[in-house]
Structure 1
Amino acid sequence: MAGLGATPRTKKPPREEQELPTPRAAARGCAKSRQSAPRGWARVPSSPTTPGKGRLVRRGPEDGPGSAPSPGALTPGRDGPGPRKIRSKLQHTRVLALDGTLLYSSLLARGQQDATATFTMGFQASSYTVHVKLRPHVQEFLESLSKTYEIFIYTTAKKDYAKKLLEVLDPKKKLIRHCLSQSDCVCSQGCYWKDLTRLGRDLAKTVALDHTMQGFPAQAANWISVPPWSGDPEDEELLRLLPALGRLGQAEDVRPEIQRQFQPCQPPTEG
């Protein structure tokens, strides 16, 4: 066909002769294609296996340019030991203590009387028999809350001990979403303190019930004091709390409502 005046095709140069970008140029192009994080934010991987571009989280004031974001600034529902947030109508979270709030446990023989359950725990090469009594109306209380709230247990007890108590409190594992124990607390000056940011939930929609202020010193605005229970069979405190907790479930921010409806526990005066 070349004899008929057709222009012959231009042959492509061999691959090794083509102009290829240098490794440094390729790296620059790759960096330009990524979206840079705005000032005051950091990009962290989405997951260890498929990091991708990651996601943005706000840095804490103490975080330098090369440090990881502070735990209190993590995105709600995505960080901390708490499980991933379920996309449902359960937008509010209720955090409950165990011993003294929902139940009473004892190592004494007299605690065996009318005990709901008894189990054996090992501690420092010794075995102990634990007698557990559930607070009156606790099942009704949990069932009512679980219909509209995500329920967390937060305790300073060790994980194995808390697990045993949960088997008594929620044997079918249908009422309580997750349990945080001693390893999820902040240890300071020999004491264990609970920190609600470890849940990974929106604190504006989180209410914590405990019988002692020692539980949540950093989030006093989220805390409701519950009178401690040590076995009174006529106690009705949990039933009394249900209407107030129901109203809090309608609030955009529960903290001002808690301050308005509930007075902090005052220490007893001497004399």
Structure 2
Amino acid sequence: MDSHLLKVFVAVAKKGNISQAAIELDCAQSNVTSRIKQLEKNLDIKLFNRVSKGVKLTYEGEKLYPDAVEIIHKLEEAEAKIKNLNKQEILKVSSTQVNAPIRLVPFISKLKKDFPEKKIELYTNTSLLVIDSILNYDVDIGFICGKTEHKDIKILKEFEEELYIVEALNDNIQNCVFTYIDSCIYYIYLASLLRNEGNNDFETVTIENYETILACVELGMGRAILPINLIKKYGYENKLKLKKVDDSNTNFSTCLICRKDNEPNEINYFKNIEL
């Protein structure tokens, strides 16, 4: 049954007058008449009797009316729910671990302030898995390390990062590299740098806590490569030897991304957010 025909039927039944229903529906009176006739033909019943001041529901029309009202209400309710996706009641956010304390936390803080009714779900993973989760529609937006050239991914916001290789202040440093995970692009860069310098014997140790990594580096147990924001967050900027990474030939910016065909409704907000 055509919902548009039902809407015309309900409007005419409420007004008891075709011309008034046409005004309410913002269409020509002839269109209202033809749609009523079409509905009557589809149902094979007569819905209205003509009276001196307009039209009056027939017995069959009276039987149809409450069901028609309910159907239209359900349709409008469904349309409202779909349109309410503009509010996007739940926002699923993913982030790399390195970005969780320096980007994700202030990001969530701003969201909670500016969109207090929004429910936020958080996930952390590697950059590649964050991208996969967005491509699979499992999350809406995510923070990754470095840019992605994937044809289905859109970069909403890019944040420049200052990376530093950190070592203990003394020179007695073990030949070890600390990282959160060995697929981290920061670690891959540092490992490549060491190998190019002829250091192929370093040990790799993964520790899933950046504050612990910094503490181990301070003790001379090895070196690491981290964003300055993270180093400062844990108060190690004056406790370690810092060597800034030349970023002229690197791509270490943090990017807030989404899927091109699944843009968040607050896209302009995310494009302009400062963290």
Pick the TM interval, shorter chain. under 0.3
Higher Rg of the two aligned structures = 2
TM-score (norm 1): 0.21
Which structure: greater helix fraction? 2
